[in-house]
Amino acid sequence: MKHTSLLDIIPHPFRHRSYWVTCTIFMRALLNFLGLALLLPVLVLILDTESIHTNRWLAAAYDWGGFTDDRTFVLAVCGTVVAVILVKSLLALTLYRTERNYIYDLYAYLSHRLYVAYHNRGLAFIKSSNSAELARNVNVVCLTFVTGILRPLASIASEAMLFVLLFVALACYNLAAAGLVLLIFVPAAWLYYALVRNRLNRYGEIENRAHREKARTVIETFRGYPDIEINNAFRLQLDSFDRAMNDIVRTRAREATIGMLPQIFTEVGLCVGMALLVVISLGFDGNELRLLFGIFAVAALRLMPSVRNVMAAWSSIKYNRYTIGILREADLEHADTSLENDARRLAFTQQIAVEHLSFRFDDASQDTLHDLSFTIRKGERIGIRGASGAGKTTLFNLLLGFYTPTSGRIAIDGTPLSQANRRQWQNTIGYVSQSVFIADSTFLANVALGYPTEQIDRKRALQALEAAHLMEFIDTLPQGIDTPIGECGCRLSGGQRQRIGIARALYKQADILFFDEATSSLDSRTEESVNRSIAELSNHNKELTIVVIAHRDSSLEYCDRIITLEKQD
């Protein structure tokens, strides 16, 4: 893992904060070292009570405090150590809160920016991507990056600093004991690294792919329930789910086993070290041996969890390394994460001019639309028809501002439609697709989509629903327009969902309505009813412009003109 990769991912405001976080990591290591150092006087008193008067530091403290009784002095030393360690622990906790806040603030920042960046990449990107994968990247990958990469890095830095401080202190006291510490822990860490270095990264990638596959399978199952059930396809879906689950369970089990290795290595190493210390210390006098053994044991017992934490943190980094590639590819530092809050409308009083319009998808060998020109005048009802693949929906996406023409232009009252004024144009128009988006909320919230609850005009919403011929149905519901619709409008018929789309456009008070095969999935009776409603809207408001895509000529009978698109050879 390259350090530059992390710098590419971490945004500049958090890079500045990271300097302070680095200081808190160093200060926590010092506090942990201080806590261990304070145990030495207690250890000396336990192993050699005569040291109160023979040890120069204890003797100096005894005289400075004016003590006359050894028991009182021992109690005072122990009480002081307990008090200082308590204060040390509180300070360390405060410093850790700084690190914790940094980690989770960064998670919120990355997740927010990735969500916006994916949105701002536009319709073409979203259509070419897997929605389950995008959702996992936004919701899970960002969290895994900060908790599985950055937090372990902080842990490694803190424990490494503590290890260095303890080793230097131990070397100053007894060089042989310090060398023994290296002899114990360095081989253990190297052996662990050699055993698992190539496996963890592979396991992490396998688990990430399995999670994506599992999420995709679940989403598709519930989204396509009727088709899956009628065609008895759930067994295949379940097989796919089980395969992904087995991969997750298998990699998690292996990762958990690897997670036990640091403890095993360090404990075995500690036992070997103590045995060696006993052998090396043969010939020392009893008190010196006990003191040396005690100091080594305290240092080793404190270093053992440090080394174990370093190994575990390194494992976490290797296992979750795949998140770095995902976030680096997103390039959030340079991605467009701006939000368009422009509430203005682009003036539309005369006509929409499509001039020599051509469009080709990036991966296509020829134009979907080529040198297309026509005009839509204010108040007209325009129908667009053509064979499948002729580019009807592509034309709509260009008119809606979702795609950018390869050549030519679309001009509204002479003003070219561009990225700069796209938001203003979209504020002007209404759109009803073949599959109207229905939020898992109430009728009111769906009609006033995009408006905060406190800003919704209920009277205008009722008028829009009335014009869309939905009030007769809504009046039969106990909660009226505050009745929950259900996810994806599962409680509504196809015609009612289309009428929600019409009501939404009317609530928005759009100047032009685009209908993208809005009635193609309806039965003939419902289609006729919806088409009649659209015609009535146009008759009641002569300024309202309507553009309709339809396969059936019957859906275009109320149009003033019909434009036929020819499929490109």
What is the reported pTM? 0.74
List Cα–Cα distances, 422 to 62, 164, 252, 342, 373, in angstroms. Answer: 81, 59, 47, 10, 20
Collapse the DSSP code of 378 into the 3-class scheme (helix H, G, I; strand E, B; otherwise coil) and give the result. Answer: coil
For the chain, helix (H) and strand (E) counts, in that order, are: 21, 9
Q: What is the pLDDT of residues 413-442, one digit of tens each?
A: 999 999 888 889 988 988 888 778 888 788
Give the strand order in the sheet containing 429-432.
Answer: 429-432, 512-516, 545-549, 381-386, 561-565
Q: Describe the crossing of helices 12-47 and 286-319 by its angle, rounded to 10 degrees.
A: 160
CATH superfamily of 351-565: P-loop containing nucleotide triphosphate hydrolases (3.40.50.300)
The whole-number pLDDT of residue 157 equals 83
The whole-number pLDDT of residue 276 equals 65
List Cα–Cα distances, 549 to 183, 396, 497, in angstroms. Answer: 77, 8, 18
Residue 404 · residue 419 · CB < 8 Å: yes
Which residue numbers in the chain have pLDDT < 50? 1-4
For residue 13, the number of C-alpha atoms closer than 13 Å in the C-beta half-sphere is 6
List Cα–Cα distances, 268 to 183, 274, 292, 427, in angstroms. Answer: 12, 10, 20, 69
Domain 3-330 class in CATH: mainly alpha
Only one residue has tokens 């200081």, namely: 23
Q: Describe the crossing of helices 151-173 and 175-223 by its angle, rounded to 10 degrees.
A: 170
Same fold, 3-330 and 351-565: no
Residue 465's CB: how many other CB atoms inside 10 A?
27
Closest CA to 25 of 313, 442, 381: 313
Domain residue ranges of the chain, discontinuous segments joined by +:
3-330, 351-565
Triad 333, 336, 340: Cα angle to 5°: 140
Q: What is the DSSP letter of 482?
A: G
The whole-number pLDDT of residue 359 equals 92
The whole-number pLDDT of residue 406 equals 92
Rounded CA separation 315/346 (Å): 55
- Which run of H or E residues covers position 201? helix 175-223
